[in-house]
Amino acid sequence: MIEINHLNLIDLIAIIALISFTIVLCIWQGFGLGFAFAIAAAKSIIQLLILGYTLDFILALNNILAAVVILILMLTLCAITARNSITKKAPFILPLLWASMFMSTAGVLLYANFLIFQPKSWYVPQYIIPLGAMVLNSTMSTAILTGECLIRRMYSSQLEIETHLSLGANPQQATTSLRQEVTRTAFLPIINQMAVAGIFIPPGFMNGILISGVVQYSRPLQAASHQIVLLFMMATANLLTIVLLTQSLCYNLFNTEAQLK
């Protein structure tokens, strides 16, 4: 097993000195980013320390209810962030984002937990929470891109959609090509991520397993296997999020008379 020193206060002071150098460099060069970087650094320190203490408490409990609560909290924060990032709003967009991300993430997480990882106890928080968080982060980005593209295209293509409707198409038929275009746009980032995974630079999850030095997973081949599983989980969850979100948004953007709201 790889021996890794635990970070202490002195280590944190050393890294703060590195951050301070970066801030000074920003100010000296006149980038105008010194204050913003300092605020971001302070927020990241506080947020990560709070998260560390919270996860330490949750993992010590080894309780499925505690793990579910923290995942639902993460999901809600991701849904709110996605809603706030979409410039054009739509009816019920927050619950639609929440539901689509919940169903896609829960589906792939349960599948991987029961059929692939198969831990001794099915609700091991050490698996569920990190994997759920990484999949949620990926689906959040996809949901933002999907919602932004779909809503903009729906209103910019209003004349085209209304022409289809006037010829007897229902809302789902009138928006088929639009939804397909949005799906291709939103799904492309994860395809590109998979295409370049492992080229020269090991992906983040794989690096984390290697650095952690956990006995059964510290070998590079095992770390690569886990990274493959995570990539496929994210890809499946992303596509499910896109399909669920485009279908539900298209439904909610029309009134009972099949007219755009």
Q: What is the mean pLDDT of each run of 10 residues along the chain (261 residues)?
A: 60 84 88 86 88 85 86 94 88 92 94 82 77 92 94 81 76 82 92 80 61 55 78 94 91 70 63
86 and 54 in a common domain: no
Radius of gyration of the chain (CA): 22
Three-state DSSP class for residue 254? strand
Q: Residue 94: how many CA atoms within 13 Å on its side-chain side?
A: 5
**Could you tell me the CA-to-CA distances from 195 to 118, 146, 182, 190, 235 in Å, in that order?**
28, 21, 20, 8, 12
Burial 83-99 (b: 16+ CB within 10 A, else e): beebeeebeebbebbbe
116 and 89 in a common domain: yes
Q: Could you say which DSSP state residue 200 is in?
A: S
Copy the structure tokens of residue 149.
Answer: 């593209």
Domains in the chain: how many in total? Answer: 2
185 and 80 in a common domain: yes
**Could you tell me the CA-to-CA distances from 192 to 52, 109, 165, 184, 225 in Å, in that order?**
31, 22, 36, 12, 19
Compute the residue count for the chain: 261
* pLDDT recorded at residue 119: 73
- Alpha-carbon distance of 259 to 245, in angstroms, equals 19
> Is 192 exposed, middle or buried (CB count within 10 Å of its CB: 0-12, 13-18, 19+)?
exposed
Copy the structure tokens of residue 249.
Answer: 């948004």
* pLDDT recorded at residue 217: 47
In a domain, 213, yes or no: yes
48 and 79 in a common domain: no
132 and 153 in a common domain: yes
Q: Could you say which DSSP state residue 219 is in?
A: S
* pLDDT recorded at residue 95: 94
* pLDDT recorded at residue 211: 53
Domain with 55 in it = 1-61
In a domain, 260, yes or no: no
160 and 77 in a common domain: yes
